Amino acid sequence: MRNRLSFIFIFLFACLSGCSNYKELNGISIVVGLGIDYNPSKDLYEVVYQSINPSENTAQGAGSGATPIVTYKTTGKTLSEAAMNTSNVISRQNIYSHIELVIIGEKLAKKESLNFIFDVFERNASSRVNVPVLMARNSDVKTIMDILPSNDKIPVRTILGKIKNASDSLGEHGIIKIYEIIENLTGLGSEVAISGISVLGNKETGTTKANLETMRKTYVKLDGMAVFRRGKFVGWVDGKKTKSLQIIKNKIKKTNLRIHCNKKRYNSVMVNRLNSDSNVDIKNNQVVITIKTNTYGYISELLCNKDISKKKIKKEYERKAERELEKEIKEGIVAAQKMKSDVFGFGEILHYKHLSKWNKSKHHWDELFSQAKVNVHVHMDIEGTGMRIKPYPY
């Protein structure tokens, strides 16, 4: 009896311990980049996939000379339908758990709300929501994803590296992920802003291997910030104005300030520490936004014949840096006010600090924000001058 029970147990264990969802590697396609766009002439949604070509990404061997990635596109009346239509295009099953970047098309953003676009991501258990998002600018998504870079085999990873580099070193572009967009769409008092990306150079050459063989390369570059209101795309913010969002949300790690030293020349101050505190209130039916920012940095370039070792000169440069940063923050907020989009989350701050006032104003917060009074106070400490104190004679 005991032997019979042991045999049954071993038999059941062998049957139940198998890999029920086992898939052969040569039967799957690992998708690392996903693009979503819209074709207005056909009234169809387009989904672009960038998957790895295994034979061209091996550690050993030279490969066959093909491109290291495979990019293809499917269409449908819904995003799910377009995704299912991949079975008509490729012989392998897509695996979405390794997606590293999602790019939204400008045409799609003008037609549909972000609520529609990201609904499918939150419902689908096979896709992650901690993936960075960018928005295509002046180009379709597939062209941007097709541009072959010279310093990395996988275009999507090159783009991802640029976002991280710009976020860490420049401060004008931040990384926003799917779950953060969903939080802004479903939350109160905060709108969505997504960094843009465009193509610089010849698009036709950039999508071929000829781009790797010329010095006049076509490449993709981060380009402005897309602003949304209630999920709808309303416009772009460019240049240093985009820095204000990273400063106010305390996401900035490092940035550079250009300050006048005389009528013709500038100095550079590298900000390497920054902390902002925002307060929002409603007084006499007007929203009052107060931002206090403490910054610390060092002189990274000195092009004036002034002795920085003197306390008076150091204070002069600190005040100029304060005014420059105040200007950049204010210009960014004014740009958002013109679009009536509170991408900074000031409404969310009012909601937490003054609940009764928020309840009275939340239904017309867009209007109140656009007419808000903004006060910006910056305190700057220059803590060093680099490896040299005295300037060269000019």
The domain boundary, picked from 237, 256, 274, lies at: 237
pLDDT at 375 over 90: yes
**Contact at 8 Å (CB) between 75 and 108?**
no
Q: Are residues 291 and 203 in the same domain?
A: no
Higher pLDDT, 228 or 12: 228
In 3D space, the residue among 181, 175, 180, 171 whose CA is nearest the CA of residue 243 turns out to be 171
Q: 352-373: b or e for each residue (b if 16 or more CB lie within 10 Å)?
A: eeeeebbeebeeebbebbbebe
Residue 338 maps to a domain: yes
- pLDDT for 339 equals 95
Could you give the CA distance from residue 78 to residue 309 in angstroms, rounded to a whole number?
65
Query: Which pLDDT belongs to residue 31?
Result: 84
On the question of pLDDT at 66 being above 80, the answer is no
Amino acid at 222: L
pLDDT confidence of residue 152: 79
Same domain membership, residue 349 and residue 300: yes
Confidence of residue 282 (pLDDT cuts 50, 70, 90): very high
Among residues 167, 189, 164, which one has the least CA distance to residue 344? 189
Confidence of residue 134 (pLDDT cuts 50, 70, 90): very high
Q: Would you say residue 1 lies in a domain?
A: no
Question: What is the C-alpha separation between 305 and 390, in angstroms, rounded?
Answer: 9
Alpha-helix residue ranges (DSSP H) falling in 20-154: 79-84, 106-111, 114-123, 141-146
Lowest average pLDDT, out of 63-77, 286-300, 345-359, goes to 63-77
What is the per-residue pLDDT across 176-193, written as a single tens digit (0 to 9) for each? 999 999 999 888 889 999
In this structure, the answer to whether residues 105 and 224 fall within a common structural domain is yes
CB of 156 closer than 8 Å to CB of 50: yes
Residue 9 domain-assigned?
no
Count CA atoms within 13 Å of residue 82 on its CB side.
23
Amino acid 10: pLDDT:
62
Same domain, residue pair 170 and 253: no
Question: Mean pLDDT, to the nearest integer, of 65-79?
Answer: 81
Same domain, 134 and 261: no
Q: Do residues 77 and 218 share a domain?
A: yes
Same domain, 253 and 372: yes
The reported pLDDT for the residue numbered 346 is 95
Q: 306 lies in which domain range? A: 246-394
Band the pLDDT of 62: cuts 50, 70, 90: low
Tell whether 288 and 222 lie within a shared domain: no
Q: Are residues 254 and 369 in the same domain?
A: yes
**Is the domain of 111 the same as that of 188?**
yes
Whole-angstrom distance, CA of residue 133 vs CA of residue 138: 17
pLDDT in tens, 232-254: 999 999 989 999 999 999 998 88
Mean pLDDT of the chain: 85
The answer to whether position 347 is within a domain reads yes
| For the chain, percent of residues with pLDDT exceeding 90 | 42
As a whole number, mean pLDDT of residues 349-376 equals: 93
386 or 288, greater pLDDT: 288
**pLDDT above 70 as % of the chain:** 89
Q: Which of 374, 167, 184, 148 is nearest to 251 (CA)?
A: 167
Last residue of a domain, one of 237, 267, 294: 237
Asked whether residue 319 carries a pLDDT value surpassing 80, the answer given is yes
Residue 6 lies in a domain: no
pLDDT value at residue 30: 80
The reply to whether 219 falls in a domain is yes
**Total residue count of the chain as it appears in this document:** 394
pLDDT of residue 301: 85
Based on the fold, state whether residues 173 and 260 are members of the same structural domain: no
| Residue 21 vs residue 97, higher pLDDT | 97
pLDDT grade for 6, boundaries at 50, 70 and 90: low
Tokens of 283: 């007084």
Residue 124 belongs to some domain of the structure: yes
CA distance 334 to 340: 10
Instruction: Let me know: does 334 contact 227? Beta carbons within 8 Å.
Output: no
For the chain, the first-to-last Cα distance in angstroms comes to 101
The tally of domains found in the chain comes to 2
Write the pLDDT tens digit of every residue in 146-164: 888 877 778 888 899 888 8
pLDDT attached to residue 55? 58
Tell me, what's the pLDDT at 295?
94
Residue 344, domain CATH: 3.30.300.210
Q: What is the pLDDT of residue 18?
A: 55
Q: Is the pLDDT of residue 262 over 80?
A: no
User: Do 255 and 389 belong to one domain?
Assistant: yes
pLDDT at 73 over 70: yes
pLDDT at 322: 94
User: Which one is predicted more confidently, 201 or 11?
Assistant: 201
Residue 9: which pLDDT band, with cuts at 50, 70 and 90? low
Last residue of a domain, one of 237, 272, 301: 237
pLDDT-wise least confident of 50-59, 72-81, 214-223, 344-353 = 50-59
What confidence tier does 23 reach under pLDDT thresholds 50, 70, 90?
low
Q: Is residue 372 in some structural domain?
A: yes
